[in-house]
Amino acid sequence: MQNGKIIKLVGGVYTVFGDDGIRYERKPLGLFRYRKIYPKVGDDVLFDAESITQLLPRRNEMVRPAVANVDHILIVSSCKEPTFSFQLLDRFLALVIHAGIDPVILVTKTDLMTEAEMEVLSGKLAYYQKYFPVFYTSAKALPGIPELREWFKGKIVVLSGQTGAGKSSILNTIDPSLRLETNEISKALGRGKHTTRHVELLRIGDGWVADTPGFSKLDFVGFDARTLHECYPDFLEHRDECRFHGCIHINEPGCRIKELVRSGAILPERYDHYQRLVEEIKATKPIF
């Protein structure tokens, strides 16, 4: 019996990185399936000569991308191709925070922007910078790459974002020996082609980074509209200033958050995305 970390899953076969530094291919014991235990990339496990025999407790986990025990999720958003979306960013931030993982915003393809366009984008992102680390990078012009390489040290970091955002390209730039497959996004369709198809943890220095398949839709199944506001650090800061304890900042009188939205101290657009997400979650019937 040996300890290891799952670093890859393809077609039901897991690659386990043993504590001896060797990679092993294993499948979980049959009883995992019977008990509906599905190991994920990032999971710490016990394994023997034949199978993964035990899943060790998780510190956190995400559904999509399916990862566990990570330090950070880098929300990768391109400036252009695909177009930067603050709505997507706000939704993604909520999802990552809800999973108990620290988000980082990684803005890619800065080379496609004019100086004036960049000023507008970074001006808006300055608000986010008060709450989350924000990196600006480009696989073509290379700003931010040394900082990012330094920052990855000793951490388990997962890159996630829309398909075509440039996740694999950035990893290749940080470490060219990774040779990850990248692809042109289909401009005719206006969406990417899902070049990366599985989650895999890759060694960068003494840390791990995971490249993941891009997504086109975010799922909020299992979310509670009454607690969603806890995923917004900018709202949480003022939670004791609302008139009612447990205010979710929608229709309650004396809501400090709505006051701050009116004054512009909280980004109105971000609040609007929050409101829409509350409506969306309320409209979703729970699945039993």
Ligand X SMILES: Nc1nc2c(ncn2[C@@H]2O[C@H](COP(=O)(O)OP(=O)(O)OP(=O)(O)O)[C@@H](O)[C@H]2O)c(=O)[nH]1
Return residues touching Zn ion (CB under 5 A): 242, 247, 249, 255, 257
Could you tell which of Mg ion, Zn ion, ligand X, none binds residue 247, using a CB distance below 5 to 8 A set by kind? Zn ion
Choose one: 5-13, 58-66, 163-171, 256-264; the region binding ligand X (CB under 6 A).
Answer: 163-171
Among 15, 69, 77, 196, binds ligand X (CB under 6 A): 196
Task: State whether residue 22 is helix, strand or coil.
Answer: coil
Q: Measured between alpha carbons, how far is 168 from 179 in angstroms, rounded to an integer?
A: 9
Nearest C-alpha neighbor of 170 from the set 197, 143, 194: 143
* Token pair recorded at residue 8: 């890859």
- Beta pairing partners, 134: 105
Q: Which is nearer to ligand X, 96 or 165 (CB)?
A: 165
- Interaction between residue 51 and ligand X (CB under 6 A): no
What SS3 state is found at 202? strand
Shortest separation between residue 183's beta carbon and Mg ion, angstroms? 8
If one asks whether residue 184 binds ligand X (CB under 6 A), the answer comes out as yes
Size of the residue set binding ligand X (CB under 6 A): 24
Nearest to residue 152, comparing CAs of 131, 164, 170?
170
Please choose which of Mg ion, ligand X, Zn ion, none residue 28 contacts, taking the beta carbon within 5 to 8 angstroms, the exact cut-off set by kind.
Answer: none
Interacting residue with ligand X among 46, 56, 66, 112 (CB under 6 A): 112
> CB of 17: closest distance to ligand X in angstroms?
23
Helices (H), 111-155: 115-129, 145-151
Phi/psi-derived region of residue 160, left when phi > 0, alpha when psi is between -120 and 50, beta in every other case: beta
DSSP at 285: P
211 versus 234: smaller Cβ distance to ligand X: 211
Nearest CB to Zn ion, comparing residues 26 and 256: 256
Q: Is 5 in the site for ligand X (CB under 6 A)?
A: no
Shortest separation between residue 199's beta carbon and Mg ion, angstroms: 11
CA–CA distance, 108 with 185 (Å, rounded to integer): 14
Separation of CA 163 from chain center: 13
List residues binding ligand X (CB under 6 A). 108-109, 111-112, 138-140, 163-169, 182-185, 192, 194-196, 213-214
